């Protein structure tokens, strides 16, 4: 919880989402070794993924977050990513604001929010080529956006993004789209 | 990705007023709610109250902020100034404080009940518990002479005359109009052969 004015606090948020992560990879020539693999292979890893997103600090319209993407269903490959970054919210109500003291309980909850986000991830990808199952660790730059929408009993969060990754043996280009709910931690 | 963008677009078209609520509650319930911007306060309703915030803003709020007042007889008026805002749900719960006069009466009523309890203990010759209760009361009400006077009585009935005299003196010092404490002070001083003028 961050104090932005005497007594007023912005809520931290934990979002639990699921969706799709589709990561296209291309092996780099320089990293290939051995007699059976002289041609770089390329392909994609697509999986139904889950995401935990934790928004922990709000500064005016900006908020810091950490997030973790993990596979929910096994496919031909695996994609995992963990990282953090910043979100920028449009509109006047970027966060839920709460004031609680002996005489007052005051809550302002935004109904609809739109945001852009950017972040940096450490990712792990395992993929199949024609001859072998391989894996790589990536540094990934992610950019995207989304929205949240408050309903009577719960709050929806939708987000999507593109991620460009560079690893030891591969470069990747990924797309993620997630949908889920927000828990306000106040 | 196209489906994702389509979903966002569809959600955006849901009217923003759909989820924009104003919820006002109070403790105790049944308080009147007034809203005012620059002019006269206008009665919104009674707590618990729920309305469409956007409609309330459109109807009543002409400035950039508005004042909400919650009033209930016997309680202090609760006021909160809120910036005009839209596309948010506003939930307010006010714990209304009792009016000073009423809260004082309640406090005195409670004190009297506690003193009656102490009196019962003293009559039952349970001096230890009586003095413990009086110690607590003395911390809360250090300026009341009745408490040291009752302590003195408890000590006196327990034949602790010196302590009794000390507390009668304190009671008299706190309230020179406390005649009972004064009489007992004189009586004990005489009994113990102490010159009250010196003391």
Q: What is the pLDDT of residues B32-61, one digit of tens each?
A: 999 987 778 889 999 999 998 888 888 888
Q: What is the mean pLDDT of residues B97-113?
A: 84
pLDDT at B104 over 70: yes
Q: What is the mean pLDDT of residues A90-108?
A: 86
List all residues of chain B from 124 to 183 with a beta carbon under 8 Å from chain A.
none
Q: What is the largest CA-CA distance in chain B?
A: 103
Which residues on chain A are in Cβ contact (under 8 Å) with B98? Answer: none
Distance, in Å, from the CA atom of A96 to the CA atom of A110, rounded to the nearest integer, reads: 6
Q: What is the mean pLDDT of residues B25-34?
A: 92
Position B8 scores a pLDDT of 59
**Interface residue A6 vs chain B (CB under 8 A):** no
Residue B137 dihedral angles phi and psi, to the nearest 5°: -65, -35
Q: Do A105 and B91 touch (CB under 8 A)?
A: yes
In the β-sheet with B78-83, what is the strand arrangement from edge to edge? B42-46, B32-36, B65-71, B78-83
User: Which of A103, A110, A179 lies at the smallest CB-CB distance from B88?
Assistant: A110
Q: Say yes or no: ipTM exceeds 0.95.
A: no
Position A163 scores a pLDDT of 95
Give the residue among B64, B14, B55, B56 at the shortest CA–CA distance from B34: B56
B190: which residues sit within 8 A by CB, 6+ positions away? none
Which residues on chain B are in Cβ contact (under 8 Å) with A160? Answer: 1, 4-5
By the 8 A CB rule, do B142 and B171 touch?
no
Position B199 scores a pLDDT of 47
pTM of the predicted model over 0.90? no
Which residue of A94, A104, A111, A180 to mutate against B (max B Cβ within 10 Å)? A111
**Interface residue A8 vs chain B (CB under 8 A):** no
The pLDDT mean for chain B works out to 85
Whether cis (ω within 30° of 0) applies to the bond prior to B28 is: yes
**Structure tokens that stand for B124 in this block:** 């039952």
| Residue entry with tokens 């919210």 | A89
Which residues on chain B are in Cβ contact (under 8 Å) with A158? Answer: 4, 7-8, 11
**Interface residue A5 vs chain B (CB under 8 A):** no
pLDDT at A171 over 80: yes
pLDDT tens string B65-97: 888 999 999 888 998 888 887 788 889 999 998
Position A170 scores a pLDDT of 92
Which residues on chain A are in Cβ contact (under 8 Å) with B8? Answer: 146-147, 158
pLDDT tens string A7-61: 678 899 999 999 999 999 998 877 666 665 567 788 889 889 999 999 998 888 9
Confidence of residue B10 (pLDDT cuts 50, 70, 90): low
Confidence of residue B23 (pLDDT cuts 50, 70, 90): very high
CA distance A183 to chain B (A): 16
User: Which of B16, B85, B95 lies at the smallest CB-CB distance from A92?
Assistant: B85
Distance, in Å, from the CA atom of A82 to the CA atom of A68, rounded to the nearest integer, reads: 4
Whether cis (ω within 30° of 0) applies to the bond prior to B86 is: no
> How many Cα neighbours within 13 Å face the side chain of A158?
18
Q: What is the largest CA-CA distance in chain A?
A: 76
CA distance B192 to chain A (A): 53
By the 8 A CB rule, do B87 and A112 touch?
yes
B31: which residues sit within 8 A by CB, 6+ positions away? B46, B47, B70, B71, B72, B75, B78, B94, B96
Collapsing DSSP states into helix, strand and coil, what is residue B184? helix
Give the residue among B81, B33, B37 at the shortest CA–CA distance from B58: B37
By the 8 A CB rule, do A164 and A144 touch?
no
pLDDT above 70 covers a percentage of chain A that reads 91
pLDDT tens string B152-178: 999 999 999 999 999 999 999 999 999
Alpha carbon of residue A48 to chain centroid: 14
| Residue entry with tokens 């609809």 | A112
Which residues on chain B are in Cβ contact (under 8 Å) with A108? Answer: 85, 88-90
Which residues on chain B are in Cβ contact (under 8 Å) with A104? Answer: 78, 80, 92-95
């Amino acid at each position: 919880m961050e104090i932005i004015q005497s007594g007023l606090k912005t809520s931290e948020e934990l979002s639990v989402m699921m969706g799709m992560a589709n990561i296209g990879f291309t092996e780099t020539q320089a990293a290939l070794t051995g007699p059976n693999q002289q041609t770089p292979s390329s392909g994609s890893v697509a999986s139904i993924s889950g995401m935990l997103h934790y928004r922990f600090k709000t500064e005016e319209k900006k908020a810091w977050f950490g997030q973790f993407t993990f596979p929910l269903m096994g496919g031909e490959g695996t994609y995992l990513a963990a990282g953090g970054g910043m979100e920028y919210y449009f509109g006047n109500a970027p966060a839920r604001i709460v004031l609680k003291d002996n005489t007052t309980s005051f809550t302002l909850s935004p109904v609809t929010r739109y945001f852009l986000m950017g972040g940096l991830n450490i990712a792990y990808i395992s993929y199949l080529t024609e001859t072998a199952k391989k894996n790589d660790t990536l540094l990934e730059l992610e950019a995207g956006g989304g929205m949240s929408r408050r309903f009577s009993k719960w709050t929806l969060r939708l987000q999507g993004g593109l991620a460009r990754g560079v690893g030891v043996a591969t470069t990747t280009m990924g797309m993620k789209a997630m949908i889920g709910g927000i828990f306000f931690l106040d | 990705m196209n489906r994702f963008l389509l979903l966002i677009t569809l959600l955006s078209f849901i009217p923003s007023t759909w989820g924009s609520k104003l919820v006002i509650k109070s403790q105790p319930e049944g308080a009147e709610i007034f809203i005012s911007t620059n002019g006269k306060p206008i009665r919104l309703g009674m707590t618990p109250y729920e309305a469409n915030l956007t409609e309330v803003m459109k109807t009543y709020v002409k400035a950039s902020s508005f004042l909400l007042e919650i009033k209930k007889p016997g309680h202090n008026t609760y006021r909160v100034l809120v910036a005009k805002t839209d596309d948010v749900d506003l939930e307010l719960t006010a714990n209304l404080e009792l009016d000073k006069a009423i809260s004082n009466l309640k406090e005195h009523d409670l004190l009297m009940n506690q003193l009656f309890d102490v009196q019962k203990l003293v009559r039952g010759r349970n001096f230890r518990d009586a003095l413990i209760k009086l110690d607590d009361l003395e911390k809360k009400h250090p300026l009341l002479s009745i408490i040291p006077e009752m302590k003195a009585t408890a000590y006196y009935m327990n034949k602790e005359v010196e302590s009794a005299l000390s507390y009668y003196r304190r009671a008299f010092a706190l309230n020179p109009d406390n005649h009972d404490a004064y009489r007992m002070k004189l009586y004990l001083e005489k009994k113990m052969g102490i010159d009250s003028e010196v003391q």
